[in-house]
Structure 1
Amino acid sequence: MYQTESSKGTFLEQTKAAREERAFEKKKEAAVIKIQAHLRGWIARKKFCKLILDEFDSEFKDETTRLKPAIKIYKVVCRFLLVWNKERDAERFDNLCRYLVTSLLSDNAKYSYVGVALNKDYSLSWIKHIKDILWKCCDYLQDLKLDVPTDTRLILIHLHTLVAFTSTSTWVILKANNMQVLKNGMNRLCANIMGHLFMRGFYLTLKALLIRGLARTKICLKHASLSAIMTLATRPLISAGLTEKLVSMFLIHIFSVPALMLHLENIAPECITILETNDVLKHSLELLSVQQDMRIVFNTLEGNYALCLLGNLLHLSYCQRDTVLKELCFPTFNFVITKLMDSCQHYVVTKQSNLTHWHPVLGWFSQGMDSGLQESIPYVKQQLFLLWSQPIVSNLLGSALIEALDPEGIGIENIPLALPPPPPTTNIIKRALEARTNRQNASKQHRNKLGSPECTKIALICTLYQTALHTLTQLRLDIFTGLCYQDNILYQLWRFLYSLGPNCGLKSFLDLLAVNTKGTTPEFSILTLFADCMTHYITILDDIEMYEQQKPFNLTDYVAMSSFLNYFLYKGILTGLFDVKTITSNSFFQSLHTLLMVLYRRDSRRSYTPPGHWLIKEIRINSFMNVLDKGKKSTQLLLQKMPHVIPHDERVQLFRKYVANEKTVLGLTESACASPQSTVITVHRSCIVEDGYRQLALLPPHALKGVIRVRFINEQDLDEAGIDQDGVFKEFLEETIKRVFDPSLNLFRVTSEERLYPSPTSYMQDNHLFLFEFVGRMLGKAVYEGIVVDVPFALFFLSQVLGQTQQALYSCMDELPSLDKDLYRSLTYIKHHDGDIAELDLTFSVDEDVMGRVVTHELVPGGKAVPVTNQNKINYIHLMAHFRMHTQIKDQTAAFIRGFRSIINIDWLALFSTPELQRLISGDNVPLDLVDLRRHTQYYGGFHDSHKVVLWLWDILLKDFSEEERKLFLKICRLNLKVKKKKLKRFIIKKKHFILTKESVEILKSLGFEIVGGILKSTNTLLK
């Protein structure tokens, strides 16, 4: 029979299904067998593991002090390690470590775990076995927490185990006489074990442990733990003979731990002895003195931890200051420390951005800091401070200076500075003898030269401290304080500069500047460091220290250094040695210029230099002014930076020229405009200030700089006769200024020397700040027009007008005497008080009596609760001075300056010092030179010098008038007659009737004149 097609297909499908079912059954069977095998294996392993663990527990259930045969224990431990699980067997492993350490105390090879290694059947496997155990100790140390008491005990156990099996010192078995022959072999065995751990990252484990325990506010590592860690850290280093690779790894992983040396000194000082004994410092400095090795170490650490390495190196150097540091201080130590700080500068940035982080030592930094490092910074700072501590500064800079200044060892104090030469005598023979003596003295004084080995050494050391100032930006004040007050280092540095040749080696420095205009050579570091430190020193120097005590610097020293700086900078600018385009960013120029200006302003306040000291004698004024008019950049820069090198009178003329040029540009002169625009105001005699304020306060500066004409209304509400040639406006201006500066108005107060400054209680006056701005504009107008007003200001206030108080090195204490001499004496007493300042019960606050009510001002937040101590008294006296001179009157001063500068360009004021600005405002307070006045007087209307009336005039002025009366007479001429200026004053007597202002009439009456029918009369019929 034949099957149909459909039945055939069904059969094939059934066959296929049956085959697949059989295959599936086989898979199920295989899977079951596999699962059963795994399960049986797991059960077997569990049983095996339990058997091993039970065996281990049975062997270690007794006290660990009960020793058992070492080989038996070894076999048990080997089986235990086969099934060891870190979390499950932590306690078992701890028991094992205790037992192993205890076994080493046995002198019997049978019970000491080291005895297993003596059996040749187990020696090789035992070494591998111990390495495994010790690495598991490191594994546990990674996770244990130092601030958990239970973990702290476990850390000690694991550290003890590592210490015990990496050195034979605790192996009692080797102390037997018959075991001495094995000692060298066992030491090599320990070295092998140590090397194995090192290659697996042993230092990383120790570093992590140190950072967790030390890089925090509250230190967690105790003596035993820290001592064990350092013992382990130094063993591979010492056993390998301090090879370069191991020293490098030690520096990177161990010595870069924040403030490690500081904590060792406080917790485990014996570890420092180990470092000293094995010359770790010497090998470290020698390694880092190789630039390639230095680069490897620094690139691995980068900025933050490189700074920690620097701190630890400084601390270890401080500990070995009398041994290794003396030997290696130059050039090795100097080079390494300089390069480390210089490398850190690559991560320092000048300003804040989204990519920067604030570093408490370095400022804005391109790297972030972890929390541990952040908490360690105060400790790291303590280490960095050692760089400018007395021992290190003396070893570095002090010894180099003494070597250069006193090679014969007679004592620097016995080498006098050459005094300025006396005026030359007219006797030729005597002059020759004096010249010979001067040359001999100069040869003794100027024993050093730029470029000599001694000078180069000092220059490189100065470069180190300059690098510190540029890198450790937030510690600059501490660095300056350390250098300025350590063993007269600053004074010795000055003596060295003085020894470089006439005028402190001026010619040599100028020659050097000619080939290096940026001042980047090491020799210039001497000048830069001295200038920066000296600026800091003078800024905090009070008058008693500078002018009376004169220790160590005397006034002749200041004269000499200012003379050098003045001429050096003058020549550098004028001859183009300083690049005009980059001079503002030239740190060398800025350092020297800052010191020069500090010395100049100190001299301006209280002179210590001879007359004409600041002038450059070789300047020809006419030529200088001509070059200035042509716009030569160097001349303009010289005038901008050092205006004092030209006489004051020429600067006043230059100021007047600036004013005249501006008037021409603004169209405010007759030459610029046929009829210059003028403003006419009407003022009542009884309301001069009010009417003037109402009509002038809102005028724009442009209009106020123009012509102001005044029409006075007298007491009868009648117009006063005529408007003369600016005389009435001058009277209005003087009268306005006289009234607003009257202390009874309470806008201004007077010091004990009758000098004016803004009143702290001026707020009681309505719109007092608007009044201050108006007063500033009026005074500015007076200066702008060359009208001299009798307004003596306190010097500290004028310093604020000039903008000097905005400079970083401005000292409030310097100018405090110009406000309150009694307060200055009190604060100076506090500064020099040798006892405990806390006994005075002072706080950082000040009480002020305001209308019978005591108001307390805090100098710092919470200042009432902050006591003044010996540590913070310097801060207190500066804050107190700043409060009295600035904080109390800051709003009034700002308003006055705003008004004054709306008329007077601040750049013009830069021509003058504080006293010179007062002279610009009030004129010179010198006796009237009648001879000079008569010589330059011009006569009109038939008068001449031999005229009878004129002779009467000069006779009365000379014989009958006092000095004050002569000034009043000259004031009449200034108020009523057209005045020209040449030398002192020139006035013109006209034979015609002229209009007298009211003030002039009053002055004339006080001098004994009377007016009858419009004719001025006196007993001598002086004028008609």
Structure 2
Amino acid sequence: MFNKSESSKCSFLEQTKAAREERAQEKKREAAAILLQSHVRGWLTRIRFTKKILDDFDVLLPPEGCVELRPSVQVYQNASRFLFVWKKERDKERFEMLCRYLVSSLESDSVKLSYVGVALNKEYALAWISHMKTILWKCCIYLDDLHPEYPADMCTMLLYLHTLVAFTSTNTWFILKAKHMEVLKSGMNQLCANIMGHLFNKGFYLTLKTLLIRGLGRSKVTLKHVSLSAIITLALRPLVSANFSEKLMTMFLIHILCVPGLILHLQNLAPECVSAIISHEIFGRSLDLLNLEQNTRIVFNVLEGNYALCLLANLIHLAYIQREDALRELYFPSFTFVVTRLLESCQHYVTSKQSNLTHWHPVLGWFAQETDSALMESIPHVRSQLQLLWSSPMVSALLGHVLEEAEPPESSDGVPQAVGGTGLLRRALLEHRGACHSAGRNRLGSAECSKVALVCSLYQTALATLTQLRLEVLTGLCYQDKILFSLWQFICSLGPNCGLKSFLDLLTVNTKCNAPEFQMLILFCDCMTHYVTILDDLEMYEQQKPFRLTDFVVMCSFLNNFLYKAIVGNLFDVKNLNGNQLFQMAHTLLTVLYRRDCRRNYTPDNHWLIKELRVGSFVNDLEKGKKTTQVLLQKMPHIIPHDERVQLFRKYVANEKAVLGLTESACASPQATLITIHRSRIVEDGYRQLAMLPSQALKGVIRVRFINAQGLDEAGIDQDGVFKEFLEETIKRVFDPSLNLFRVTSEERLYPSPTSYMQDNHLQLFEFVGRMLGKAVYEGIVVDVPFASFFLSQLLGQQNQVLYSSMDELPSLDRELYRSLTFIKHHQGDVQELDLTFSVDEDCLGRLVTHELIPGGKAVPVTNENKINYIHLMAHFRMHTQIKDQTAAFIRGFRSIINPEWLSLFSTPEESSLSRSPIYTRRYAPLNHHSLQWHIVRCTFM
């Protein structure tokens, strides 16, 4: 009974709970339905409301065409309601119509019709200002989506730009032109400034930058005069309104002046904008801002490397335009410091190696930042702006101006009449030095010297940063109004021997070689190296303008002594010479001048020797392993007599023989190699038995048994006279031009034949010949091999060096071709009339073969602009490309016997000293030297 009662009770409670929950759910459904209905009703109301507003707007300003001016307050009220329901995509055409109407209303001088008249109504004044800010910002929103390359977008863009221009300045407001309205102009100008400030804070400059980059950042510019003028006008207005505040100027640099090629395009398309920029002194104000390192860092951190380079290019272009007025006052220190600092900042992203984190930049090389497509397309414009920095007017305005202020003395007028007249050359040198001594009023550390040094530092920084324009920079500095010669005269004025002691004293306290004065010296050496490399014999030895041979002699003396004293005095870190730019540039120039003197002498006898150097002490220090002595021998072997270097070479050979166990006592060793040679097959038998012999075995004792014509052994089997005879006969036969391994020049000098490939195994034969000549040098055997000097330069690996000039060596191969190419270089008319292309025809066994000097060279004409490139490519082809495989095989064989490091003791051509000091040791009888034009050791050590 109890259980049944309890069960009924539980059932009742559950039913009650269920009914309560159902009522609650029903209430929720009702509430949701009411809420949904309210939203729907609201949505429908808003649709009707929006439609009503849009219909009223369309009645007032129909999209299809022009309308008469309506009362401005009425238009304002309708426009305000329209903006309240405005949607970007839906109302694009209506907004355009509104902008057209607003602009056209400004042409009315009626307060009731002009839209500006609303601002004169106290009831609407404040709301109207906010209203115009909204309209103008929506113009910017639409501008962000437009692309100037599309004609339809261009028309719309002009409309929005016109609207922005019209309502941010009172100049086009007809309503203010009445006399009684002039009192309002000041207040209206303030109103415009307020609107400009609002737009600036919203990101107005970003919109303008987007338009400029889309229109200018391409190979074919799409912005026209009107649009470009409007954008620049709008960009300048915030600056003027804010009285060129530091914040506004910073944003102008970051967003406007960093646009690639901006000033270039303005000069071509809208020159009045350039005039406006000049009148507002943007160039000077920008320099004042960037002169503070903190500001430069802020600008560069925002722009990073790519657009910072564009900013630099635009500043350079402005400087070029104002070089006659503003730049004269600002070139130092403002312009010099700013340009140098921006270039140094770009260096942080420049790297010499390719990696997964670097990208190729056409101006900076491998760059640790990706370059966008717009910037890549506009690089040619940026490049043309940067080139202005080393153009003749700019170099004269910068470096030429400070050199004129320093007033360096003129050098001696004595010019040697003949290179061979050493007495006359010495007198000219003394006169030149005397002039420098007596007139040298400048000194390191003076105000004049600091100016010159800092401007030089600017150009040196440009060389280090603009890696892909390096040759252009060097050429610009070398051939602009004798600037390089003026810089040389200034260096000569720094004291005895071109201020040698002053530079050494400075090096003592500035061991990192980063002082501006060292940058000046580095720049001179860099430019002078380029100048000498492309200087032909006619210009250097005959014309002697502007540099005379006495200048080169003094230059050599200064560099030779400077480097020697700096190394001996431990002023350079000898463990890191490759990382020392001062040493590298000075040593490179010294090397170039030395090679030029070796090829065609212009210095007195023994000019390159250091008088204070004692050879005995030098050799003793070398044996003790003194580091400075080793560096001198490696970098400047010419400072000690040639005979002493010959003895060092023989000592190196003797030491290696001792290490390998190949000394005199080894002659009777059973390890000696015995070869059998038939008199009728000397080359064939020698090649067959020695070509595959290991290098160490070939360096050892080679015993020769000759078989005569009758097949009988000849008397005598030894490593001395018989082996010497075998070498001489082998070399005599392989160098016979009839074998077609080698050819002779017009001066009877030997070089590899370009058609040697017709000989079976010709490359293996060249390697064999190289090994035989290496063996002759190794043993000190003199043989008669008159090699052409260009081939010997390749043997020493000089053709792989950056400063190697094929034109310099060309006379040793073909004097006629050298004269022809020189004629082309100095041709005053249009070279294109000569009908040359970047190709060369060769007669190969009656068949004409055309070789292209560059890809597609047959279709590339030689012009005045590319003729220098053509003559160097032609010389390189004749002396290197045609015989590169043969030369490589010969060098491979030669260097398998002779250590390449030993060859650094010698350079071209040292003929007289070598002919007087033949290298042979052991027991070989001297040959008749008068019957030998060359011998193998001389050929090797050129």
User: Do both proteins adopt the same fold according to a TM-score greater than 0.5, normalized to the shorter chain?
Assistant: yes
After superposition, the C-alpha distances for 1:915-956 in whole angstroms (9 at most, x for unaligned) are 14x789xx5189x9xxxxxxxxx9xxxxxxxxxxxxxxxxxx
Letter in 1 for 2:611: K
2:420 aligned residue: none
Letter in 2 for 1:593: H
1:855 aligned residue: 849
* C-alpha deviation, 1:438, in angstroms: 10
- 1:173 equivalent in alignment to 2:196: no
Q: What aligned pairs does 1:620-769 form with structure 2 within 5 A after superposition?
A: 620-671=614-665, 675=669, 677-723=671-717, 726-769=720-763
Q: Secondary structure at the match of 2:751?
A: strand
> Residues 595 and 907 of structure 2 are in contact (CA less than 8 Å); yes or no, is this contact kept in structure 1?
yes
After superposition, the C-alpha distances for 1:149-179 in whole angstroms (9 at most, x for unaligned) are 2111111111100000000000011111111
- 1:924 equivalent in alignment to 2:919: no
Q: Secondary structure at the match of 1:848?
A: strand
> Residues 458 and 526 of structure 1 are in contact (CA less than 8 Å); yes or no, is this contact kept in structure 2?
yes
2:29 aligned residue: 28
**Structure 2 CA distance, aligned partners of 1:30 and 1:671?**
119
Q: Residue 225 of structure 1 is aligned with which of 216, 224, 227?
A: 227
Cα pair distance change 1:148/1:440, threshold 3 Å: closer
**Structure 2 CA distance, aligned partners of 1:530 and 1:673?**
56
2:17 aligned residue: 16
Letter in 2 for 1:370: D
Q: Residue 599 of structure 2 is aligned with which of 605, 609, 612?
A: 605
* C-alpha deviation, 1:444, in angstroms: 4.6
* C-alpha deviation, 1:418, in angstroms: 7.2
- 1:254 equivalent in alignment to 2:245: no
Letter in 2 for 1:200: K
* C-alpha deviation, 1:967, in angstroms: 4.7
- 1:587 equivalent in alignment to 2:581: yes
- 1:830 equivalent in alignment to 2:824: yes
Q: What aligned pairs does 1:804-815 form with structure 2 within 5 A after superposition?
A: 804-815=798-809
**Structure 1 CA distance, aligned partners of 2:834 and 2:433?**
56
Q: Secondary structure at the match of 2:840?
A: strand
Letter in 2 for 1:188: Q
> Residues 704 and 718 of structure 2 are in contact (CA less than 8 Å); yes or no, is this contact kept in structure 1?
no
Q: Secondary structure at the match of 1:914?
A: coil
Q: What aligned pairs does 1:471-486 form with structure 2 within 5 A after superposition?
A: 471-486=465-480
Cα pair distance change 1:970/1:453, threshold 3 Å: closer
Q: Secondary structure at the match of 2:554?
A: helix
2:532 aligned residue: 538
**Structure 2 CA distance, aligned partners of 1:499 and 1:144?**
61
> Residues 107 and 174 of structure 2 are in contact (CA less than 8 Å); yes or no, is this contact kept in structure 1?
yes
After superposition, the C-alpha distances for 1:341-393 in whole angstroms (9 at most, x for unaligned) are 10111111221111111111111111111111121211111111111111221
Q: Residue 909 of structure 2 is aligned with which of 912, 915, 920?
A: 915
Q: What aligned pairs does 1:324-335 form with structure 2 within 5 A after superposition?
A: 324-335=326-337
> Residues 348 and 471 of structure 1 are in contact (CA less than 8 Å); yes or no, is this contact kept in structure 2?
yes
RMSD: 2.4
Q: What aligned pairs does 1:405-554 form with structure 2 within 5 A after superposition?
A: 405=407, 415-417=410-412, 441-442=435-436, 444-554=438-548
Cα pair distance change 1:458/1:288, threshold 3 Å: same
After superposition, the C-alpha distances for 1:311-368 in whole angstroms (9 at most, x for unaligned) are 1111111111111111100000000000001011111122111111111111111111
> Residues 518 and 588 of structure 1 are in contact (CA less than 8 Å); yes or no, is this contact kept in structure 2?
no
2:61 aligned residue: 60
Q: Residue 785 of structure 2 is aligned with which of 791, 794, 808?
A: 791
TM-score after normalising by structure 2: 0.94
Cα pair distance change 1:864/1:681, threshold 3 Å: same
**Structure 1 CA distance, aligned partners of 2:688 and 2:436?**
69
Q: What aligned pairs does 1:352-367 form with structure 2 within 5 A after superposition?
A: 352-367=354-369
Cα pair distance change 1:568/1:40, threshold 3 Å: same
Q: Secondary structure at the match of 1:681?
A: strand
Letter in 1 for 2:569: T
After superposition, the C-alpha distances for 1:596-617 in whole angstroms (9 at most, x for unaligned) are 0000001111111111111111
> Residues 670 and 676 of structure 1 are in contact (CA less than 8 Å); yes or no, is this contact kept in structure 2?
no
Q: Max radius of gyration: which structure?
A: 1
Aligned residues: 915
592-601 vs 150-159, which moves further: 150-159
Letter in 2 for 1:357: H
* C-alpha deviation, 1:118, in angstroms: 0.8
Q: Secondary structure at the match of 2:351?
A: coil
Cα pair distance change 1:22/1:705, threshold 3 Å: same
Cα pair distance change 1:443/1:713, threshold 3 Å: closer
1:998 aligned residue: none
**Structure 1 CA distance, aligned partners of 2:157 and 2:932?**
97
- 1:614 equivalent in alignment to 2:605: no
- 1:864 equivalent in alignment to 2:851: no
**Structure 2 CA distance, aligned partners of 1:181 and 1:60?**
32
> Residues 702 and 719 of structure 2 are in contact (CA less than 8 Å); yes or no, is this contact kept in structure 1?
no
**Structure 2 CA distance, aligned partners of 1:388 and 1:58?**
63
Structure 1 residues without counterparts, runs of 5 or longer: 407-411, 422-433, 929-937, 939-962, 975-1024
Runs (4 or more) in structure 1 with deviation over 6 Å come to 436-440, 963-966, 968-971
* C-alpha deviation, 1:19, in angstroms: 2.4
Letter in 1 for 2:571: L
1:403 aligned residue: 405
Cα pair distance change 1:49/1:437, threshold 3 Å: closer
Cα pair distance change 1:442/1:369, threshold 3 Å: closer
**Structure 1 CA distance, aligned partners of 2:61 and 2:826?**
72
Letter in 2 for 1:786: G
**Structure 2 CA distance, aligned partners of 1:910 and 1:258?**
48
* C-alpha deviation, 1:690, in angstroms: 1.0
* C-alpha deviation, 1:876, in angstroms: 0.8
Q: Secondary structure at the match of 1:4?
A: helix
1:318 aligned residue: 320
Q: Secondary structure at the match of 2:48?
A: helix
Cα pair distance change 1:142/1:70, threshold 3 Å: same
* C-alpha deviation, 1:445, in angstroms: 2.4
**Structure 2 CA distance, aligned partners of 1:819 and 1:441?**
41
**Structure 1 CA distance, aligned partners of 2:313 and 2:185?**
39
Higher relative contact order (CA 8 A, sep 6+): 2
* C-alpha deviation, 1:39, in angstroms: 1.2
Letter in 1 for 2:386: L
1:802 aligned residue: 796
> Residues 782 and 927 of structure 2 are in contact (CA less than 8 Å); yes or no, is this contact kept in structure 1?
no
Q: Residue 568 of structure 1 is aligned with which of 532, 538, 562?
A: 562
> Residues 842 and 868 of structure 1 are in contact (CA less than 8 Å); yes or no, is this contact kept in structure 2?
yes
> Residues 705 and 713 of structure 2 are in contact (CA less than 8 Å); yes or no, is this contact kept in structure 1?
yes
Letter in 2 for 1:228: A
Cα pair distance change 1:969/1:745, threshold 3 Å: closer
* C-alpha deviation, 1:965, in angstroms: 7.8
**Structure 2 CA distance, aligned partners of 1:21 and 1:511?**
103
Structure 2 residues without counterparts, runs of 5 or longer: 417-427, 936-942
> Residues 664 and 672 of structure 1 are in contact (CA less than 8 Å); yes or no, is this contact kept in structure 2?
no
Letter in 2 for 1:105: E
> Residues 357 and 364 of structure 1 are in contact (CA less than 8 Å); yes or no, is this contact kept in structure 2?
yes
1:556 aligned residue: 550
2:266 aligned residue: 264
After superposition, the C-alpha distances for 1:3-48 in whole angstroms (9 at most, x for unaligned) are 8333333332332232222222222222222111111111111111
**Structure 2 CA distance, aligned partners of 1:890 and 1:804?**
13
After superposition, the C-alpha distances for 1:433-491 in whole angstroms (9 at most, x for unaligned) are x9x99999556521211111000111111111111111111111011011111111100
671-680 vs 79-88, which moves further: 671-680
1:954 aligned residue: none
Q: Secondary structure at the match of 2:906?
A: coil
Cα pair distance change 1:892/1:438, threshold 3 Å: closer
Q: Secondary structure at the match of 1:85?
A: coil
Cα pair distance change 1:119/1:609, threshold 3 Å: same
